Every structure is written in structure tokens, then in C-alpha cells.
Amino acid sequence: MDNAICMEYVVPGDDFTRAGEASANMKQSLKRLGVPAAAVRRAAIALYEGEINLAIHAGGGRIRVEVTPDTIAMHLEDDGPGIADIPLAMSEGYTTAPAEVRSLGFGAGMGLPNMKKYTDTFEIQSTVGVGTTIDMSVSIA
Amino acid sequence: MTIQQMQEILGARLLTPAADLSQEVHTACGSDMMSDVLAYVKDQAVLLTGLNNPQVVRTADMMDMVCIVFVRGKMPGDEVLGLAESRDIAVLSTDLPMFAACGLLYQHGLRGGEWHG
């Protein structure tokens, strides 16, 4: 990991309109690094979903991205309420998002399934009352 | 078709004057649910939506789309337009409802493209 490039972001929890800034920044950075477009798009979509989740569910959180010649590794962590039933949360269409969030175009229960779908590795750990961490990566072909 | 042709077909207003209207687009999707766009869209170049907030532009940006059409006369604010301009995304607004806007574009050759299952 000697030649890894790292990017760190703080996602605010009180401003939904700003969610996506970190993902957009990462996307631009990956493009500038010459990462192939397909890998850039998959990583950007997955991180964007994660960022939306941090803003909606967790009161904000922290993101760390490490880019090596082979991999885009993304680490997300928060001090939110945690997830009691991860398999249920991972199923398409299950959501705990309030109606207000759905009126903004999100909260359809596709966030976590999408993150898994667009990445090559995906691990989630959560403790109720403590928070949630997600580690996911996209291989650069 | 080009973005300019889309504008003419929809009788739409161009809200990002600096946009390159000669860009060719072949596929589009219509949705008010950005979660679905992120889940199922594959290579669509145009997003038609009645949702009006910055996440519409964020979503289009993540999907590498080049044009957003706001239907039902929705007029995005300066924040949304500024974000779109910074991403080189053209923004149109038409008074047509979603179904009619999609139908007209389809009639003139725009297609749905491939979707993620």
C-alpha cells in the first residue's frame, strides 16, 4: 500500500442537500488519476448511496478512500443508531426512511443492496446504539 | 437526436445557456425516484424527472448523464443549475407531464437503452 492515494471526507448529518459532495469529489479525483470509467462509475454510485445513508440515517459520518493501482477501497463509519437486522436491511425494498426522505427521491430500500451490487467486496458491521462501518471495494481491471 | 432537437420536440426552456446542444443522445430514463435510477440505469444519457432538488444533479452526475429534463414545468433553483453547469450537464424544463414528454421523445427515436436487472 506504499503507493496508495488517500482521500478523507466528513459527511454532515444535518444537510441532505450537501450529500453527494464527497462522492462527486472522489469521482473527479479518480478520473484525474486515470482510473477506467467503468470502475469510477461503480465506485461513485456505491459511495453516493453510502453518503446518502450517512446523511439520512446516521446523523452524518466519515469516509476514507484508498486508491491503489488495483483497487478503490472505501471505508464508511458513523456513530448512528446502528442496524439491528443486517440481512433484513440488505434486502431490496426494505426501508426505515421517513416519508420526508422518500419525497426527496430516496429511501426506496435500495441503498445497501446497490452498494453491494456495484462493488466487488462488501462488508458491513453494525452495533445498535454504537454505529455502523462499511468496507467495500471496486477492482480496477 | 441532439439535445437541441430534444428541446424543440418538448418545447422546452434551456436553463443552462452554456450547454453544448449539439451533443448526441440515444437513450433516456424517466423517474422521480433517484434510488431506482441508481439501481437500474446502465447507460442512459438523459434523465426526465419531476423531482426538483440537488440530488437529481448528483444522481445524473454519478451515472455520467449529459442532460436533465424537468417535466411539469418544474423550475430548478440557482443551486441546482449551478451544480449542473459545474458538471457540464444541460438542463431543460418542459411544461409537458412525464408521460407525454417521454412519449414524444420515444416517438422521435429516443429509446430506453439497456437496464440493470
**Angle subtended at Cα B114 by Cα B108 and Cα B117, rounded to the nearest 5 degrees:** 140
Residue A2 pLDDT greater than 70, yes or no:
no
CATH number for position A14: 3.30.565.10
- Residues A121-134 pLDDT 10s: 999 999 999 999 99
Q: How confident is the model at residue B35 (pLDDT cuts 50, 70, 90)?
A: confident
pLDDT of residue B70: 98
Quote the pLDDT of residue B117: 62
**What's residue B39's pLDDT?**
86
Q: Residue B13: its pLDDT value, please?
A: 98
> Taking CB atoms and an 8 Å limit, are B39 and A117 in contact across chains?
yes
Domain span holding position A26? 5-139
Which pLDDT band, with edges at 50, 70 and 90, does B5 fall under? very high
Number of inter-chain CB pairs under 8 A, A vs B: 67
What is the model's pLDDT at position A14? 77
Number of Cβ atoms within 10 Å of the Cβ of A2: 4
- Which is more confidently placed, A2 or A72? A72
Closest Cβ–Cβ partner in B56, B58, B64 for A24: B58
3-state class of A17 per DSSP? helix
Number of domains in chain A: 1
Distance of CA A38 to the CA centre of its chain: 17
pTM: predicted TM-score of the whole model, two decimal places = 0.92
CA distance B108 to chain A (A): 28
When CB atoms are compared, the residue of B35, B55, B116 closest to A20 is B55
Structural domains of chain B ordered from first start: 3-107 (3.40.1390.20)
Residue A45: its chain B contacts at CB < 8 A?
A: 38, 62-63
Average pLDDT over residues B20-49: 91
Render pLDDT for A7-56 as a digit per residue (tens, 0 to 9).
999 999 878 888 999 999 999 999 999 999 999 999 999 999 999 999 98
Q: How many helices (H) and strands (E) does chain A have?
A: 5, 5
Question: Do A104 and B79 make contact, defined as CB atoms within 8 angstroms?
Answer: no
For residues B23-36, average pLDDT? 93
pLDDT digit string, tens, across residues A108-120: 888 999 999 999 9
pLDDT at B102 over 60: yes
Strands across the sheet with B67-70, in order? B13-14, B90-93, B67-70, B46-49, B28-30
On the question of pLDDT at B99 being above 70, the answer is: yes
Give tens-digit pLDDT for A50-67. 999 999 899 999 999 999
Residue B11 has pLDDT above 90, yes or no: yes
Over chain B, what is the mean pLDDT?
Answer: 94
Say if the Cβ atoms of A106 and B58 lie within 8 Å.
Answer: no
* Closest CA relative to residue A52, chosen from A8, A85, A11, A95: A11
pLDDT higher than 90, residue A107: no
Question: What does the pLDDT read at residue A15?
Answer: 83
pLDDT number for residue A99: 85
Paired sense of beta strands B13-14 and A121-127, if any: unpaired
Q: Quick check: B55 and A52 CB within 8 A?
A: yes
Give the ipTM.
Answer: 0.88
